[in-house]
């Protein structure tokens, strides 16, 4: 159905058709990774939200499984089964999620290894305390996206929310059985002028000797932030913070701890073209590649694509130690591909900007520039010429990236038709969307603007499509 679609990713997970948003209920069960996701089976737009479901033995290839949760007519989730998490309730796979409308917290469990789900007919949490003064509007209060965990013999649950005229918040609840919950207090309250009015999709987890809180921020609706600090006396004390991704497309990230002890994170990669183009394409939204999270000594978050993805590397080419300038012949002249992994290490000489052009048509009519700007000390994806389509976003995505004198710039770039995920120096990620219209917009070129740079090494692989 989508064989001729130049924009549909080949090695990122997405449903067979229609709409995907947040990753939900990430859990490893009997060795299998389970990925649930916000899904609309009725079209490529956000509406009638279900939980789609897929499983993988290796984090690379996925098997589509039947829809896990659908709205129940007259039930608390009649208008949508919104985001939530999966927990292991002493051997019983259990989902906590938000039903709408109004937003209430609901529960479902499985007795056949995550394929069929039984809903608790009534919400396990009906409403936030009235005196909390939660942000709300015509659609009711903003109070959702349960994140649960077991500590000794007590369950805890976080909900994303916001306090009117104050800022986003994460509320803490406790329970002995997952069915009866007591409100405790906010673990953190933000300043609305700094980090927005409402926080969605909270995640709290231990990483090394610190704790990390993830929040996705409204009204921005563009970034998942990480806050690193301590969790003591059931309150979160942030010390540092950053963006899990500097692009405008990676959102509502969720994490899980796998059986090897790794903390894995996925995010919803949004589209960068208008709603009409999404409906016409018949699909919208892609799951990011899984990232392994760690702490760096300077207190920032390290994010590396799960090493399992190297299994998709196919044909390989390698270059080393060459200096390039605006007029020199390009050694990458014959390189073609719209599904690629590129690992490159650059050294600055006197160029103002250097990097790579990707998805270039032979005449340069369509092309995208991934480059480092020396004066501005930032990495950017310049999409002004990425696509001839008026429906495609054309903005320049920018990530600050200070590089000291004599340091090298290391880029790991994943290109998958309309997706570009760039990882720089472990802690900077920049995900973007491009929609080249020409089938021959597939070239890769070295880019040096206003001077010379050295390519210390470049490895390029074509990437195989995943089996779904
Ligand atoms: N998406 C879900 C909500 C969540 C938002 C609805 C974040 O539960 O807050 O599809 O993208």
Q: Are residues 170 and 45 in the same domain?
A: yes
Q: Is 157 found in the same domain as 23?
A: yes
pLDDT of 414 higher than 90: yes
pLDDT of residue 281: 98
User: Is pLDDT at 23 greater than 70 in this prediction?
Assistant: yes
Task: Assess whether 284 and 319 both reside in one domain.
Answer: no
In this prediction, what percent of the chain has a pLDDT beyond 90?
Answer: 91
Helical (H) or strand (E) element with 281? helix 275-281
Tens of pLDDT, residue by residue over 85-112, are 999 999 999 999 999 989 999 999 999 8
The CATH number assigned to the domain holding 115 equals: 2.115.10.20
Do both 125 and 256 map to the same domain? yes
Q: Which of 280-284, 407-411, 462-466 has the lowest mean pLDDT?
A: 407-411
Mean pLDDT estimate for the chain:
96
Give this prediction's pTM.
0.97
Mean predicted confidence (pLDDT) in 336-348: 96
- Contact between residue 117 and residue 24 where contact means Cβ atoms under 8 Å apart: no
Reply yes or no on whether the pLDDT at 434 is more than 90.
yes
Asked if the structure places residue 1 within a domain, the reply is no
Residue 83 in contact with ligand 1 by CB distance below 6 A: yes
Question: Is residue 82 in contact with ligand 1, taking CB distance under 6 Å?
Answer: yes
**Residue 11 falls inside a structural domain:** no
Q: How many angstroms separate the alpha carbon of residue 82 from the centre of ligand 1?
A: 6
| 411 in Cβ contact with 422 (< 8 Å) | yes
| Boundary-marking domain end, from 246, 276, 305 | 305
Mean pLDDT of 323-331: 83
Domain assignment present for residue 5? The answer is: no
pLDDT at residue 2 greater than cutoff 80: yes
What distance in angstroms lies between residue 71's CA and the mean position of ligand 1's atoms?
15
Segment 366-392 shows an average pLDDT of 97
Asked if residue 98 has its Cβ within 6 Å of ligand 1, the reply is: yes
Indicate whether 54 pLDDT > 70.
Answer: yes
Using a 6 Å cutoff on CB, does residue 77 contact ligand 1? no
- Residue 19 CA: distances (Å) to CA of 240, 268, 287, 292, 425: 34, 11, 11, 26, 33
Ligand 1 centroid from CA 249, angstroms: 14
Residue 4 counted as domain residue: no
Lowest mean pLDDT among 16-20, 398-402, 405-409: 405-409
Same domain, 291 and 197: yes
Residue 138 confidence (pLDDT): 67
- Final residue in a domain of this structure, among 305, 328, 357: 305
Residue minimizing CA distance to atom 6 of ligand 1: 82
Ligand 1 pocket test: pick from 80, 135, 145 the residue with the most ligand atoms within 8 Å of its Cβ: 145
Instruction: Specify if 7 maps to a domain.
Output: no
How far, in Å, is the centroid of ligand 1 from the Cα of 287? 14
Q: Decide: 21 in ligand 1 pocket, CB within 6 A.
A: yes
Q: Are 204 and 228 in contact (CB under 8 A)?
A: no
Active site residues: 22
Q: What is the CATH number of the domain that holds 342?
A: 2.60.120.560
- Is the CB of residue 161 below 6 angstroms from any atom belonging to ligand 1? no
Q: Are residues 342 and 395 in the same domain?
A: yes
What's the CA gap between 62 and 76, in Å, rounded?
A: 31
Total domains present in the chain? 2
Same domain, 435 and 300: no
Which numbered atom of ligand 1 lies nearest the CA of 38?
10
Say whether both 365 and 422 belong to one domain. yes
Last residue of a domain, one of 289, 305, 321: 305
Q: Residue 51's domain spans which residues?
A: 18-305
pLDDT band at 164; cut points 50, 70, 90: very high
């Amino acid at each position: 159905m989508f064989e001729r679609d130049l924009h549909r990713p080949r090695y990122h997970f997405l449903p067979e058709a229609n709409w995907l948003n947040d990753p939900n209920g990430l859990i490893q069960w009997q060795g299998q990774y389970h990925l649930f996701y916000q899904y609309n089976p009725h079209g490529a737009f956000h509406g009638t939200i279900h939980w789609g479901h897929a499983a993988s033995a290796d984090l690379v290839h996925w098997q589509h499984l039947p829809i896990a949760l659908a709205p129940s007519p007259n039930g608390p989730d009649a208008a949508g089964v919104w985001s939530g998490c999966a927990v292991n309730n002493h051997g019983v796979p259990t989902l906590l999620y938000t039903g709408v409308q109004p937003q209430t917290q609901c529960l479902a469990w499985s007795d056949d290894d995550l394929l069929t789900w039984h809903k608790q007919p009534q919400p396990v949490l009906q409403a936030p305390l009235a005196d909390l003064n939660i942000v709300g509007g015509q659609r009711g209060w903003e109070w959702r996206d349960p994140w649960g965990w077991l500590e000794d013999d007590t369950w805890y649950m976080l909900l994303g929310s916001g306090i009117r005229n104050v800022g986003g918040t994460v509320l803490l609840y406790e329970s002995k059985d997952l069915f009866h919950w007591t409100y405790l207090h906010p673990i953190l309250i933000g300043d609305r002028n700094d980090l927005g009015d409402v926080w969605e999709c909270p995640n709290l987890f231990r990483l090394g000797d610190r704790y990390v809180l993830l929040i996705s921020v409204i009204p921005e609706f563009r970034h998942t932030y990480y806050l690193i600090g301590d969790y003591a006396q059931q309150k979160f004390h942030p010390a540092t913070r950053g963006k899990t991704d500097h692009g405008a497309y990676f959102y509502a990230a969720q994490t899980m701890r796998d059986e090897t002890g790794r903390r894995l994170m996925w995010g919803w990669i949004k589209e960068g073209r208008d709603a009409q183009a999404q409906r016409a394409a018949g699909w919208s939204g892609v799951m990011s590649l899984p990232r392994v999270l760690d702490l760096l000594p300077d207190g920032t978050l390290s994010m590396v694509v799960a090493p399992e993805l190297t299994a998709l590397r196919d044909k390989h080419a390698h270059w080393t130690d060459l200096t390039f300038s605006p007029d020199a012949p390009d050694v990458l002249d014959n390189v073609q591909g719209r599904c690629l992994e590129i690992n490159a290490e650059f050294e600055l000489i006197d160029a103002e900007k250097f990097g790579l052009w990707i998805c270039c048509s032979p005449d340069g009519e369509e092309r995208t520039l991934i480059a480092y700007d020396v004066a501005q000390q930032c990495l950017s994806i310049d999409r002004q010429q990425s696509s001839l389509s008026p429906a495609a976003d054309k903005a320049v995505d920018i990530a600050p990236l200070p590089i000291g004198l004599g340091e090298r710039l290391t880029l790991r770039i994943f290109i998958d038709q309309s997706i570009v995920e760039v990882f720089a120096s472990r802690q900077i990620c920049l995900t973007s969307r491009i929609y080249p219209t020409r089938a021959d917009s597939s070239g890769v070129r070295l880019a040096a603007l206003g001077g010379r740079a050295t390519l210390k090494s470049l490895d390029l692989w074509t990437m195989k499509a995943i089996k779904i």
